[in-house]
Amino acid sequence: MKPRSLLASAMLGSAVLLSTSAHVLAADDEVILGFIVKKPEQAWFINEQKAATALGAEKGFKVVRLAGEDGQQVLSAIDNLNSQGAQGFVICPPDVRLGQSIMHRANQYGMKVITVDDRFVGGDGAPLEGVPHLGMSGYKIGQQVGNAIADEMEARGWDPAEVAALRITNYELPTAKERTDGASDALLERGFVEANIFDAPQQNTDTSSAFSAASPVISKNGDFEHWVIYALNEESVLGGVRATEQYGLAADDVIGVGINGSGAAFAEFSRERPTGFYATVAVSSTSHGRETADSLYRWVTEDVEPSANVETQGTLMTRSNWEQVRDELGL
């Protein structure tokens, strides 16, 4: 059965609930929107929620900021929003495969939904139809990472045959796989040796999880003097960089390039001495928060349905230009 059919069946089965719970927006109704994120403590998501809240203050709607770190917490957050009279929500899901159950609950309450950063997928692994999305092309962003690493390797005069790549992976998350695949392909196109790419599977997407994944990989391949590091985000790359420091590798022997452009990168670039964290591909989380909230607000108040899929671009941020890029992107 196709995802759309599953949703249709769920909606038919909830007809009574729909008739009593769906919100009909009158001219004088207060507009209340939710913004649910999977990692509320990470700077990226903090910025998204703050930007959405600021836009709400400008335009006269309320934003309820909630955490959804697992499926049950997401469903509880949706129930919470319904009790407050919300007409819809933006969500970065903790697991993209939860899309059908999340949409089932949203449809029961008559809520409109936009995904941000990570897109719902159906049982066949394809994007779930009918749910607008704003994010970035994971593969293209990954290519930017790989090319940035290759450029810096050339600038340092490194022989690719003598360099190891630490690929910190999370293949349960399609977005993460797209990013690391893009980086790997770009490196290989630039002459990197495939046998020198070592996987470090992480169980989460934060620095400590990446550190735990990276440490044994570096220890087992101690013959390499030069390392490059890439992952789905800059927190994970920082975990890899910390692992290289633990094993005595100097900053000049490491090139780590992350993705996002958040407080984690700013703190690293602000250190008195450079570290192995060379750069990050910055994307405006502020823009993501503002644009999705604005799209949802217009959808609720003007019945203007958002585009099915909008992809943003990244800008390379290094120690030398990070403040300028931060200001330009409004990070």
Per-residue pLDDT of the chain (331 residues; tens, 9 = 90+): 333 333 333 333 333 333 333 444 555 589 999 999 999 998 889 999 999 999 999 999 999 999 999 999 999 999 999 999 999 999 999 999 999 999 999 999 999 999 999 999 998 889 999 999 999 888 999 999 999 999 999 999 999 999 999 999 988 888 899 999 999 999 999 999 999 999 999 998 899 999 999 999 999 999 999 999 999 999 999 999 999 999 999 999 999 999 988 888 999 999 999 999 999 999 888 999 999 999 999 999 999 999 999 988 899 999 999 999 999 887 7
Nearest to 278 by CA among 226, 219, 220: 226
Per residue in 194-223, pLDDT (tens digit) is: 999 999 999 988 999 999 999 999 999 999
The Cα–Cα gap between 15 and 22 comes to 10
Q: How far is the C-alpha of 88 from the C-alpha of 264, rounded, in Å? A: 31
pTM of the model: 0.70
Please write the tens of the pLDDT for every residue from 145-195: 999 999 999 999 999 999 999 999 988 888 899 999 999 999 999 999 999
CA distances from residue 289 to 44, 117, 183 in whole angstroms, order as listed: 10, 10, 26
Q: Which residues of 141-166 are buried (b: 16+ CB within 10 A; e: fewer)?
A: bbbbbbbbbbebbeeeebebeebbbb
| All structural domains of the chain | 32-131+285-310 (3.40.50.2300), 138-282 (3.40.50.2300)
Query: Within a 10 A sphere around the Cβ of 125, how many other Cβ atoms?
Result: 9
Angle subtended at Cα 303 by Cα 96 and Cα 54, rounded to the nearest 5 degrees: 70
